[in-house]
């Protein structure tokens, strides 16, 4: 995708209506959320800000995509009317799974983080979910504070328009660690998926070998971070403990998943004595519990290699979810994202059926 995607005037594609599994609704300024915050926290934010771990900034080279900026001057992704009229309707988006960024998980002040997550969720209900029935949402959580995160899940679980909870790309600990299990227990209880979205950290670098120098590196890195979280969720036995739990990776690409499964299986054959809580091959847990959003779509040099890649997924091809990452500069266009023409059945699965099954839509 290029930086300046022209907006299509009419849709001529034959692709199915689709479910967008990574659709960013974003406030332009924290002030837009003040109506949903207690006065105490409004004053706090105005005085001290939303402090998070510093030192991890790689200023985005490109701003949000052309065509996503409302003429009323509001920020891209912040105006539900504009999103509906210029994206949801013309692109035939059947459902958009909302994934705001900065939902409080990485706020250092834990009371503020919990209050902020709650405000973002109430904003999502009032301004998005109540506005259009095609929106579904991700519960924002103070996920480094699991008891408070569970409180927030319980507060919202009856609202079935929330289909999952959202973690950052780099929580403080690998996502399978026991610290987070109370959150997973609540998700299993209420049938919510657990989603990790690229970027955001609790102060750790984007690589396993320190901070890189350039935005380009920060922009390749989420694929590595996501792999470590998949490895952790499998290795810790989360899916043994919560056999109905589903784990979703968003905005991390997807082509790396078969190799992770091969690597884990190879490792398990020689190291299973260390992880006796795993009762099956790691790849089987991945096939049953791990879902991957396509964006940013990997593009092999030769189209046939893309089809080979899909073959390498095996049964996990039913866990590939189409996602645009609207309205970011690198968003995938629903008509042009795939480097090959997919067989019709596969197209239907990836654009729609897989997500419909996961989220009960």
Partner 1 sequence: MTDTQTARSSNTSTELPLVDCDVHVEVAKVDVLFPFLHEHWIEHIQQSRFKGPTDTAYPANAPTTARPGSRPSEGPAGSDFALLRSQALDAPSVDRAILNCAYAIDSIHNPDAAVALASAVNDWLIAEWLEKDSRLRASLVVPSQLPELAAREIERVGDHPGFVQVYLPVRAQHPYGSRIFRPMWEAIARHDLVAGIHFGGAPGNPPTPSGWPSYYFEEYADMATVFASQVVSLIVEGVFDQWPNLRVTLIEGGFTWLPAHLWRFDKEWRNLRRTVPWVKRAPSAYIREHLRLTIQPLDAPPTRKQLLEVIDQIGSEELLLYASDYPHLHHVDPLDVLRELPAGLARKIAGENARAWYRL
| Residues in region 128-187 near partner 1 by CB under 8 A | 169-177
Q: Which is nearer to partner 1, 30 or 212 (CB)?
A: 212
∠ CA 104-69-352, nearest 5°, is: 70
Closest CA to 193 of 231, 238, 227: 238
What stretch of H or E contains 311?
helix 303-313
Shortest distance in whole angstroms from residue 298 CB to partner 1: 4
Provide CB contacts within 8 A for 244, sequence distance 6+.
Answer: 188, 191
| 255 is a site residue for partner 1 (CB under 8 A) | yes
Q: What is the dihedral of CA 177, 180, 184, 185, to 10 degrees?
A: 100
Shortest distance in whole angstroms from residue 100 CB to partner 1: 21
| Residues in region 296-325 near partner 1 by CB under 8 A | 296, 298-301, 305, 308-309, 312
Shortest distance in whole angstroms from residue 133 CB to partner 1: 35
| Residues in region 29-58 near partner 1 by CB under 8 A | none
The count of residues in the chain is: 361
For the residues of 76-100, what is the DSSP string, one character each? TT--HHHHIIIIITTTTEEEEEE--
Shortest distance in whole angstroms from residue 283 CB to partner 1: 9
Shortest distance in whole angstroms from residue 260 CB to partner 1: 7
Q: Which is nearer to partner 1, 93 or 261 (CB)?
A: 261
Q: Which range in 87-95, 111-119, 151-159, 248-256 contacts partner 1 by CB under 8 A?
A: 248-256
| 360 is a site residue for partner 1 (CB under 8 A) | no
Q: Which is nearer to partner 1, 73 or 276 (CB)?
A: 276
| Residues in region 53-92 near partner 1 by CB under 8 A | 61-62
Shortest distance in whole angstroms from residue 313 CB to partner 1: 11
Q: Which range in 13-21, 157-165, 249-257, 317-325 contacts partner 1 by CB under 8 A?
A: 249-257
Q: Which is nearer to partner 1, 155 or 269 (CB)?
A: 269
Shortest distance in whole angstroms from residue 71 CB to partner 1: 27
Q: Could you tell me how many residues of this chain bind partner 1 (CB under 8 A)?
A: 73
Q: Which is nearer to partner 1, 72 or 213 (CB)?
A: 213
Shortest distance in whole angstroms from residue 187 CB to partner 1: 18
Shortest distance in whole angstroms from residue 256 CB to partner 1: 4
| 335 is a site residue for partner 1 (CB under 8 A) | no
| 340 is a site residue for partner 1 (CB under 8 A) | no
| 241 is a site residue for partner 1 (CB under 8 A) | no
| Residues in region 181-240 near partner 1 by CB under 8 A | 201-202, 204-217, 219-221, 223-225, 227-229, 231-232, 235-236
DSSP state of 129: I
């Amino acid at each position: 995708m290029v930086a300046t995607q022209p907006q299509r005037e009419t849709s001529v594609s034959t692709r199915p209506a689709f479910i967008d599994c990574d659709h960013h609704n974003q406030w332009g300024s924290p002030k837009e959320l003040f109506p949903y915050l207690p006065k105490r926290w409004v004053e706090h934010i105005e005085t001290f800000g939303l402090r998070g771990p510093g030192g991890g900034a790689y200023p985005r080279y490109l701003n949000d995509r052309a065509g996503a900026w409302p003429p009323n001057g509001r920020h891209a992704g912040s105006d539900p009317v504009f999103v509906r009229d210029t994206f949801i309707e013309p692109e035939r988006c059947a459902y958009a799974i909302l994934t705001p960024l900065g939902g409080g998980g990485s706020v250092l002040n834990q009371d503020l983080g919990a209050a902020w997550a709650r405000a973002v969720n109430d904003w999502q209900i009032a301004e998005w979910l109540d506005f259009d029935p095609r929106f579904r949402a991700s519960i924002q959580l103070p996920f480094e504070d699991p008891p408070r995160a569970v409180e927030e899940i319980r507060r919202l679980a009856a609202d079935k328009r929330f289909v999952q909870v959202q973690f950052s790309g780099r929580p403080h600990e690998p996502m399978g660690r026991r610290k987070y299990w109370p959150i997973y227990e609540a998700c299993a209880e209420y049938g919510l998926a657990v989603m990790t979205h690229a970027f955001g950290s609790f102060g750790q670098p984007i690589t396993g070998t320190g901070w890189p120098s350039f935005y380009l590196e920060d922009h390749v890195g989420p694929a590595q971070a996501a792999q470590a979280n998949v490895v952790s969720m499998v290795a810790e036995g989360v899916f043994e403990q919560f056999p109905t739990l589903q784990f979703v990776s968003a905005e991390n690409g997807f082509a790396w998943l078969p190799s992770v499964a091969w690597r884990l299986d190879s490792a398990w054959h020689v190291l299973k004595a260390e992880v006796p809580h795993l009762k099956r091959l790691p790849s089987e847990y991945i096939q049953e519990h791990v879902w991957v959003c396509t964006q940013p779509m990997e593009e092999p040099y030769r189209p046939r290699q893309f089809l080979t890649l899909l073959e390498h997924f095996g049964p996990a091809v039913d866990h590939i979810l189409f996602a645009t990452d609207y309205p970011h500069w690198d968003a995938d266009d629903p008509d042009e994202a795939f480097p090959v023409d997919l067989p019709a059945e596969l197209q239907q699965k990836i654009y729609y059926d897989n997500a419909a099954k996961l989220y009960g839509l």
